[in-house]
Chain A
Amino acid sequence: MSYQITKFFYGDYGEAKNGAADISSTNNSSNEWPLWEIFIRSKQGLDHKHVGSLHAVDAAMAIENARDVYTRRMEGLSIWAVESKNIHASSPSESDSLYDPANDKAYRHPTFYDLPEEVKYM
């Protein structure tokens, strides 16, 4: 099946009329600075949360860049930078079997239990 996308977004002029030639990837990125994932704690007492990624030569530069890219409006009090290659993730294709053991155990939730109305504060 062959089709063309003709919706034109901000700065995107579709495939027709020289809008964009072949934008396929050749994965030629040998000289690139490593990619880092950035996590930010927005407030004392809260967890660090993933906000995006950026390129930097080392951890110090990653944190400095993260300050400029992700905390221009006081969004953070603490920054974690983790080199992306060090992140290990579960595979979405295995998520059925991975989460299956928890799937049939509704009794782990408090709402599973029927208690008489007159029981208070439980």
Chain B
Amino acid sequence: MEKDLAQIFQDKVDKEIRIEPKDWMPEKYRQTLIRQISQHAHSEIIGMLPEGNWITRAPSLRRKAILIAKVQDEAGHGLYLYSAAETLGISRDEMYDQLHTGKAKYSSIFNYPTLSWADMGVIGWLVDGAAIMNQVPLCRSSYGPYARAMVRVCKEESFHQRQGFEILYTLSKGTAAQRKMAQDAINRWWWPSIMMFGPKDDESPNSIQSMKWKIKRFSNDELRQKFIDVCAEQVKVLGFTLPDKELKWNEERGHYDFGVINWDEFWQVIQGNGPCNKERLDTRKKAWAEGEWVREAATAYAEKKKIKVKAA
């Protein structure tokens, strides 16, 4: 029986028929999705913190309004994704708990500090750019609720990248000090951004399974290469450079060659030793703990109203 169900499931996936919450699915598929979607949601929520840092210091009202809207979008993205994950049978509180206890991870990129205003530009251009490249294929994920959430996310994400590029473009036309600030931000964020695509692909038979389930559509290296090719051209418009001496167009491959990525740094950051890991988690935990009385009060008020309605 189990085998029949597995076959029916795989047939649907092969025919690009989306899997919906009440359909039978292999346990491993469910778990993989819960992990992936919840960690994606956590990334959106933690991702608000580095940018929230600059809301009070945005250089103009226009920039401040834009930044607030962008951070609000990230909150929205987190919520779309949490609700998609909940359809797989995990509760919101459990996911929060996994984030707060460090059991679940989030994107390593958000453990780097935002030191100058130019970082807001670079986050939009490079970090959101890398995120979009990762996320567009997820709009065709085999799991319906995730794919639908991602369509919404991707639609909204493109303003994020454009506003970031606009910040950098403005700085590139500015004073020498402004140009220096922008170049410094690019130098600090470039390598962590290309690490966002994850470790190099290995040819293990394991990734064949996620390919078969259509959770995976493109490999890490494929997407990374695509991103580097795009950015190497865009940076020319800004008149800045990417901090990689080995970055060079390779006519034969039709791609840019690039230098060696420091994977040790990547794993260090993931395992909690990045510059801001502790600060980010502490901020989240504090917000959750300090919101407890609000959650309780709202519940109590709703109960009271319910009783009143019954009595009337």
**A residues apposed to B, CB below 8 Å:** 3-15, 17-29, 31-33, 35, 52-55, 57-58, 61, 68-70, 72-73, 89, 91-93
Contact = CB atoms under 8 A, between A and B. Distances in A.
Given A28-B94, A69-B79, A72-B72, 13 more contacts: A5-B206, A11-B107, A12-B35, A12-B40, A13-B39, A14-B198, A32-B93, A33-B299, A52-B84, A57-B302, A68-B72, A69-B80, A72-B76
Contacts of B302: 57-58, 61
B92 A29 contact: yes
A23 B98 contact: yes
Contacts of B92: 29, 32, 55
Given A7-B220, A9-B198, A33 B298 contact: yes
Interface residues on B, range: 35 or more
A70 B145 CA distance: 15
A11 B40 contact: yes
B270 interface: yes
A18 B266 CA distance: 12
B79 A12 contact: no
Contact of B36 (A9, A21, A54, A68): A9
A69 B28 CA distance: 30
A87 B187 CA distance: 52
Q: Which 5 A-B pairs have the closest CB atoms?
A: A8-B198, A11-B43, A29-B91, A11-B107, A57-B302
Chain B interface mostly: helix
B298 A21 contact: no
Contacts of B267: 17
Contact of B80 (A15, A18, A52, A73): A52
Given A9-B36, A12-B36, A20 B103 contact: yes
A6 B99 CA distance: 21
Contacts of B293: none
Contact of A7 (B149, B215, B298): B215
A47 B236 CA distance: 47
A69 to B, nearest CB: 5
Contact of A3 (B34, B69, B86, B206): B206
B202 interface: yes
B86 A35 contact: yes
A69 B270 contact: no
Contacts of A17: 267, 270-271
Contacts of A53: 83, 86
Given A9-B40, A28-B91, A72 B73 contact: yes
A120 B69 CA distance: 56
Given A10-B134, A26-B94, A19 B205 contact: no
A7 B207 contact: yes
Contacts of B23: 92
19 contacts: A4-B204, A10-B107, A14-B198, A18-B270, A18-B271, A19-B105, A23-B31, A23-B35, A23-B104, A24-B31, A25-B34, A25-B89, A25-B90, A27-B91, A29-B94, A53-B83, A69-B76, A73-B156, A92-B23
B10 to A, nearest CB: 14
B220 to A, nearest CB: 6
A110 B90 CA distance: 46
A53 B86 CA distance: 9
